[in-house]
């Protein structure tokens, strides 16, 4: 056997081997492409998500409840504010009131806050339940510190909150001409 015959056989074997590898590769591709012949899908399109709302309003429309001048010890000034729950969350915590007084007269002002039942109005407050009684200076200043009030857990439910503010009867002459300012916040939170 000559070198040329050996080279020819070797070349023939390489060609045959390459042909076999190519045939196996094509077969594997054909098997892979046809092995997933069945499939199906289904869709659920157009899904929508909307958050609920907790909305509280009052009848003073952001205005002032008290402008009391010429106050004397032992004589109270009163006012009523009507709150309404407009949110669509039915599980809310009871309404809480907190606020802040500033000024020299705050330590001598006695404040009482009472509320009617759910559905009460300032025209018809009904039986009142105390929610705060103390000096203006000691009024809670945060939601967490405030006492729970009326439960307004149904949309369009109202409640009357009645305030009574007076200069303490034991106030000294240092209270003469003094003043105080106040801001009140009612808050309701979802459960």
* Residue range 100-110, pLDDT digits in tens: 989 999 999 99
The per-residue DSSP string of 6-47 comes to HHHHHHHHHHHHHHHHHHHHHHHHHHHHHTT-----------
pLDDT for 24 equals 59
At 121, give phi and psi (nearest 5°). -130, 170
**pTM (2 d.p.):** 0.72
C-beta of residue 96 within 8 angstroms of C-beta of residue 172: no
CA neighbours closer than 13 Å in the CB half-sphere of residue 156:
0
* pLDDT tens per residue, range 22-77: 655 555 555 555 566 788 889 999 988 888 888 888 887 566 677 888 889 988 99
Share of the chain above pLDDT 70, in %: 79
Residue 165, pLDDT > 60, answer yes
Region of residue 135 (left: phi > 0; alpha: psi -120 to 50; beta: else): beta
Q: What are the structural domain ranges in the chain? A: 1-40, 56-187
Highest-confidence segment of 13-22, 63-72, 171-180: 171-180
């Amino acid at each position: 056997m000559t070198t040329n015959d050996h080279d020819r056989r070797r070349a023939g074997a390489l060609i045959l081997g390459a042909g076999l590898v190519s045939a196996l590769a094509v077969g594997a591709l054909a098997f892979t492409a046809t092995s997933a012949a069945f499939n199906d899908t289904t869709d659920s399109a157009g899904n929508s998500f909307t958050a609920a709302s907790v909305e509280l309003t009052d009848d003073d429309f952001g205005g002032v409840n008290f402008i009391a001048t010429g106050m004397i010890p032992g004589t109270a000034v009163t006012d009523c504010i009507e709150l309404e729950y407009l949110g669509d969350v039915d599980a809310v915590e009871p309404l809480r009131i907190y606020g802040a007084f500033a000024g020299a007269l705050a330590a001598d002002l006695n404040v009482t806050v009472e509320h009617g039942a759910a559905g009460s109005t300032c025209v018809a407050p009904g039986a009142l339940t105390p929610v705060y009684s103390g000096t203006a200076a000691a009024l809670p200043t945060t939601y967490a510190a405030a006492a729970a009030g009326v439960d307004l857990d149904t949309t369009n439910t109202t409640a009357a909150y009645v305030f009574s503010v007076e200069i303490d009867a034991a106030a000294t002459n240092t209270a003469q001409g003094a003043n105080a300012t106040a801001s009140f916040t009612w808050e309701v939170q979802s459960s």
